[in-house]
């Protein structure tokens, strides 16, 4: 298995100042009320995009919206409720956005969870896999027709360096509380983000101007990293970067002209906008298997 070395380049390939004017662009960001997601929303809004901040906590989400309006002067930022622990909520959120009859140029799947306690979503799916992958899979699929109609468009899936520390996805034991340790559950979900991105490009975007890429934002000093139940936090804090710097690679994938100029699709990026190496297990076979497994799971849970 790959040995992981935690480093961040001193010189940034991309900065907030390089984000082009986004007037007329519409963006969705999950998990936008705090951390990386918040700064992603703020900078998109600062560059004149119409931004939808999606999150589970309405009070915190609305507060973030008002702060971003105040900081940027752009009033075109809105909150939409999204609980990724509930596939019904994901479906309702997508329907609420589609009812606005707006284009969608940028979709950023940023929200994520990790915990040392095994738990299930409202649909009975192991939580890290359910929130970090399945919920975003469904949201993206429900918005696909709108994204394709709005091209050129971008889809950005926030993964993590830890996706290289697993040898695949243990489909048969995802809901077994004793099958994997907590870090392995999280890492599997992050591998799923990369695999989903690759298969999305293969299935839907050949010949289209839709660019889906995944990324490692860096080891970011967020509340998640400092939680008492996140057992590797003390080791990683000395290597961490700020949430603002953590948003740079996401914004590179979402806005940089290089993505279209160099036809970057199905790529994986490290900080700060530098192409990185995917896991050896981020292969076509695993991507197709994950796609089929996820579709069947969603159909079963939603009764489709």
> Which pLDDT does position 227 carry in this prediction?
43
Superfamily of domain 16-302: NAD(P)-binding Rossmann-like Domain (3.40.50.720)
**80-116, pLDDT tens digit by residue?**
999 999 999 999 999 999 999 999 999 999 999 998 8
**Positions of the chain with pLDDT lower than 70, given as ranges:** 1-7, 221-239, 304
> Which pLDDT does position 73 carry in this prediction?
97
| From 186, 252, 264, 268, active-site residue | 186
Q: Is 186 among the catalytic positions?
A: yes
> Which pLDDT does position 220 carry in this prediction?
77
> Which pLDDT does position 224 carry in this prediction?
56
DSSP assignment of the chain, as one string?
-PPP-----SS-S--GGGPPP-TT-EEEEETTTSHHHHHHHHHHHHTT-EEEEEES-HHHHHHHHHHHHHHH----EEEEE--TT-HHHHHHHHHHHHTT-----EEEE------SS--B-TTS-BHHHIIIIIIHHHHHHHHHHHHHHT-SEEEEEE--GGGGGSSS--GGGTT-TTTS-HHHHHHHHHHHHHHHHHHHHHHH-TTSSEEEEEE---SB-SHHHH-TT-TTHHHHHTT-B-HHHHTHHHHHHHH-HHHHHTT--S-EEETTTEE-PPPTT--HHHHHHHHHHHHHHHHHHHT-
Per-domain residue ranges of the chain: 16-302
């Amino acid at each position: 298995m790959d040995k992981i070395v935690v480093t961040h380049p001193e010189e940034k390939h991309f900065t907030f100042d390089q984000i082009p004017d986004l007037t007329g662009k519409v963006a969705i960001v999950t998990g936008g009320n705090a951390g990386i997601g918040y700064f992603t929303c703020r900078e998109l809004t600062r560059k004149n995009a119409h931004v939808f901040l999606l999150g589970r906590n309405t009070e915190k989400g609305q507060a973030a919206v008002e702060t971003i309006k105040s900081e940027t002067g752009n009033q075109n930022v809105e909150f939409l409720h999204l609980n990724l622990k509930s596939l019904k909520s994901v479906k309702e959120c997508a329907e609420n956005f589609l009812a606005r009859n707006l284009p969608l140029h940028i979709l950023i799947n940023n929200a994520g969870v990790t915990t040392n306690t095994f738990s299930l979503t409202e649909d009975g799916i192991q939580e890290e896999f359910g929130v970090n992958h399945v919920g975003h899979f469904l949201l993206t699929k429900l918005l696909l027709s709108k994204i394709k109609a709005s091209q050129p468009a971008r889809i950005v899936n926030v993964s993590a360096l830890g996706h290289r520390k697993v040898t695949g996805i243990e489909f048969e034991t995802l809901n077994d509380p004793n099958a994997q340790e907590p870090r392995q559950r999280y890492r599997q979900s992050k591998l799923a983000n990369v695999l989903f991105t690759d298969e999305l490009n293969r299935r839907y975007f050949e010949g289209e101007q839709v660019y889906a890429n995944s990324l490692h934002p860096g080891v970011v000093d967020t509340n998640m990293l400092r939680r008492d139940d996140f057992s590797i936090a003390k080791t990683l804090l000395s290597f961490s970067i700020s949430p603002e710097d953590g948003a740079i690679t996401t914004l590179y994938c979402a806005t940089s002209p290089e993505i279209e100029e160099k036809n970057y699709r199905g790529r994986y990026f490290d900080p700060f906008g530098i192409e990185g190496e995917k896991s050896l297990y981020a292969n076509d076979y695993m991507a197709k298997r994950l796609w089929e497994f996820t579709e069947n799971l969603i159909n079963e849970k939603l009764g489709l």
